């Protein structure tokens, strides 16, 4: 049978642009972390924490995260379906529209235009751009799946389809708003309904953009790297459907102890706890896939990224449900524990898998051997240490903060003022900022290694690239 | 519990039934081999 000619140019472009936006996200993240410890680094009106923080989160989620989703999905779908991309032209349009949307988002957020909804701050014209962008992407991927020449649908395709459909529904429902001018709109929902829809979106954006796609990548790139199949395809299918079944009910755990109806909070708490099962189904599937292959953790730098990444997924999906329990939530919600939790997921799980995916892709799409495996190993340690400094310091800070907020004198008055609790945070915030710098150093090593791979890497065939990983 | 709450739980239960059917189908003895073929197929060399 004649082999299909896959479109790699578009994958290259998305890889490159996702790295650009990833660098912006981390750079802005480091800047805002220093603004926290040194408020004089705020330069009103544009370069203040309030305006830069949403740029950090949106560049991270939509620029880096979604950029990597675009690159890897367009690579994987062609190979898993054994057919070229349905429309390369549509993918090219998607590339430029993606960058236009990210730039428009950054500029408007910097100018102070915001809906004030977390992870959905962009105003209504950009919402329309996001929807057009996602529909173009979804149509291309789904049409490629429909036209596939491979009868068997591998688990990664299921996660990809869930992400395509899930993100579309979540974004459109949460974007329902009434425009009153070119850059101002009001939510179509009011009060607790608005909060409920916002966190249904917010938590499931994590599910459909930051969980399903990295799982699709993990299930694809782990066996491709080790050359050994996953432990159980049937377990992966059950984990998938149970994840999809349970995730969409958990958003209200962000609203425990609020005026949202009590039974919705309880339902969200119960489903959050049940979610441990499908999450750990994938973690165990990953670990069991390494049976007899654990030596590759030492021999193959990609395996190290993938297995440590899935380990952080396991930790994240255990910590998350614990936080969704009412009593625990009452203690740690609104403290620095929460950003530590989020960053273990984004820096430890999602980005670790994204780095592994890009390391797998670049030698193949450029036909060059990786410039330096030692540099890849150095980057691994820098991002691991940076993330741990970040997360551990803020877990401690969060517990300290919660303890001080809830401490009471015998007469029932609060022991500490809010300012006293803030002053106690400074040492931990310094460690967080230092952790961010270490992580940024890891990103710079990563970019240097990739640039040198493209410019000076030795020419390689797919076979030599595959063998090189195990050198 | 009002009608909306009952409806909410009803939809949840309906989805649970669908999920249970998926589990039964995936783990049926008849489909044991069939369910694992995809993991071998994806490993076959597919690059141009």
Per-residue pLDDT of A378-424, as tens digits, reads 999 999 999 999 999 999 999 999 999 999 999 999 999 999 999 99
Residue B31, pLDDT score: 85
Q: Are A85 and A74 in contact (CB under 8 A)?
A: yes
Check: CATH 1.20.210.10 for A1-210? Answer: yes
Q: In sequence order, what are the residues at sequence separation of 6 or more whose Cβ sits closer than 8 angstroms to the Cβ of residue A457?
A: A363, A366, A368, A369, A370, A371
Cα separation, A338 vs A33, whole angstroms: 15
Q: What is the pTM of this model?
A: 0.94
Split at pLDDT 50, 70, 90, the class of A460 is: confident
Q: What are phi and psi of A184, to 5 degrees?
A: -140, 135
> Is the pLDDT at A86 greater than 80, yes or no?
yes
In the block, which residue shows the tokens 């959050």?
A: A272
Split at pLDDT 50, 70, 90, the class of B48 is: very low
Split at pLDDT 50, 70, 90, the class of A458 is: confident
Give the closest of B16, B32, B38 to A153, CB-based. B38
- Express each pLDDT in A13-58 by its tens digit: 999 999 999 999 999 999 999 999 999 999 999 999 999 999 999 9
- Express each pLDDT in A99-130 by its tens digit: 999 999 999 999 999 999 999 999 999 999 99
The residue of chain A with its CA nearest to that of B39 is A229
> Is the pLDDT at A309 greater than 80, yes or no?
yes
What are the residues of chain A with a beta carbon less than 8 Å away from any beta carbon of chain B?
Answer: 3-6, 79-80, 82, 150, 152-156, 220, 223-224, 227, 229-230, 232-234, 237-238, 241-242, 245, 249, 263, 267, 364, 462
> Is the pLDDT at A222 greater than 70, yes or no?
yes
Interchain contact, A230 vs B19, CB within 8 Å: no
Split at pLDDT 50, 70, 90, the class of B2 is: confident
Interchain contact, B19 vs A220, CB within 8 Å: no
Give the closest of B12, B35, B47 to A462, CB-based. B47
Write out the two tokens for A138. Answer: 């979804």
Give the closest of B19, B32, B40 to A245, CB-based. B19
Which range (A26-35, A99-108, A208-217, B18-27) has the least confidence?
Answer: B18-27
Q: In chain A, how many H helices and how many E strands?
A: 19, 2
In the block, which residue shows the tokens 């755990």?
A: A253
Q: What is the mean pLDDT of residues A146-155?
A: 95
Q: Which helix (H) or strand (E) holds A207?
A: helix A191-210
Average pLDDT value over all residues in chain A:
95
- Express each pLDDT in A225-256 by its tens digit: 999 999 999 999 999 999 998 998 899 999 99
Domains contained in chain B, number: 1
> A320-346 as b/e, with b when 16 or more CB fall inside 10 Å?
bbebbeeeebebbbebbbbbbbbbbbb
Q: Is residue B48 part of a domain?
A: no
Give the closest of B8, B19, B38 to A154, CB-based. B38
Residue B8, pLDDT score: 82
Q: Which helix (H) or strand (E) holds A213?
A: helix A212-226
Which residues of chain B have a CB within 8 Å of the CB of A263? 1, 5
> Is the pLDDT at A4 greater than 90, yes or no?
no
Residue (of A307, A303, A310, A463) closest to A373 by Cα position: A303
Residue B32, pLDDT score: 86
Q: Is residue B46 part of a domain?
A: no
Q: Which domain holds residue B21?
A: 3-41
Residue A115, pLDDT score: 95
Q: What is the mean pLDDT of residues A47-76?
A: 97
Residue A463, pLDDT score: 62
> Is the pLDDT at A3 greater than 70, yes or no?
no
> A363-373 as b/e, with b when 16 or more CB fall inside 10 Å?
bbbbbbbbbbb
Cα separation, A434 vs A36, whole angstroms: 12
Q: Is residue B37 part of a domain?
A: yes
> Is the pLDDT at A209 greater than 70, yes or no?
yes
Split at pLDDT 50, 70, 90, the class of A2 is: low
Q: Which helix (H) or strand (E) holds A233?
A: helix A233-247
């Amino acid at each position: 049978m004649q082999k299909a000619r896959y479109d790699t140019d578009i994958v290259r472009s998305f890889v490159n642009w996702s790295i650009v936006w990833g660098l912006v996200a981390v750079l802005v993240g480091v800047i805002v972390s220093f603004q926290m410890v040194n408020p004089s680094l705020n330069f009103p009106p544009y370069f203040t924490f309030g305006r830069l923080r949403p740029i950090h989160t949106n560049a991270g989620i939509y620029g880096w995260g979604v950029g990597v989703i675009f690159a890897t999905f367009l690579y994987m779908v062609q190979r898993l379906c054994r057919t070229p991309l349905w429309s390369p032209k549509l993918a090219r349009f998607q590339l430029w529209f993606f960058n236009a949307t990210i730039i428009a988002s950054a500029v408007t957020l910097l100018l102070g235009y915001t809906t004030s909804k977390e992870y959905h701050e962009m105003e209504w014209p950009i919402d329309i751009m996001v929807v057009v962008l996602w529909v173009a992407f979804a149509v291309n991927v789904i049409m490629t799946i429909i036209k596939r020449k491979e009868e068997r649908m591998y688990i990664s395709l299921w996660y990809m389809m869930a992400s395509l459909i899930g993100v579309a529904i979540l974004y459109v429902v949460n974007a329902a708003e009434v425009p009153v001018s070119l850059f101002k709109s009001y939510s179509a929902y009011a009060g607790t309904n608005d909060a409920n829809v916002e966190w249904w979106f917010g938590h499931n954006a994590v599910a459909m953009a930051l969980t399903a796609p990295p799982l699709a990548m993990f299930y694809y790139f782990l066996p491709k790297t080790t050359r050994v199949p996953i432990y159980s395809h049937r377990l992966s299918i059950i984990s998938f459907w149970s994840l999809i079944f349970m995730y969409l009910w958990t958003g209200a755990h962000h609203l425990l102890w609020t005026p949202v109806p009590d039974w919705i909070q309880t339902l969200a708490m119960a489903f959050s706890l049940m979610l441990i099962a499908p999450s750990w189904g994938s973690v165990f599937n990953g670990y069991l896939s390494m049976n007899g292959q654990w030596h590759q953790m030492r021999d193959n730098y990609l395996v190290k990224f993938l297995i440590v990444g899935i380990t952080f997924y396991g930790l994240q999906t255990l910590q998350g449900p614990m936080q969704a329990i009412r009593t625990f939530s009452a203690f740690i919600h609104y403290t620095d524990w929460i950003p530590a939790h989020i960053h273990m997921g984004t820096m430890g799980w999602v980005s670790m898998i994204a780095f592994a995916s890009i390391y797998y892709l670049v030698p193949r799409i450029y036909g060059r051997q990786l410039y330096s495996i030692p540099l890849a190993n150095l980057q691994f340690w820098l991002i691991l240490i940076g993330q741990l400094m970040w997360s551990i310091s803020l877990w401690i800070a969060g517990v300290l903060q919660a303890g001080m907020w809830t401490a009471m004198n015998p007469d029932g008055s609060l022991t500490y003022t809010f300012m006293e609790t803030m002053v106690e945070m400074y040492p931990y915030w310094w460690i967080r900022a230092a952790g961010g710098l270490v992580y940024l150093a890891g990103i710079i090593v990563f970019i240097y290694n990739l640039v040198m791979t493209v410019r000076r890497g030795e020419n390689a065939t797919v076979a030599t690239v595959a063998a090189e990983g195990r050198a | 519990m009002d009608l909306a709450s009952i409806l909410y739980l009803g939809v949840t239960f309906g989805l649970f039934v669908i999920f249970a059917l998926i589990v039964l189908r995936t783990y049926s003895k008849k489909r044991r081999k069939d369910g694992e073929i995809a993991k071998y197929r994806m490993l076959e060399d597919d690059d141009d």
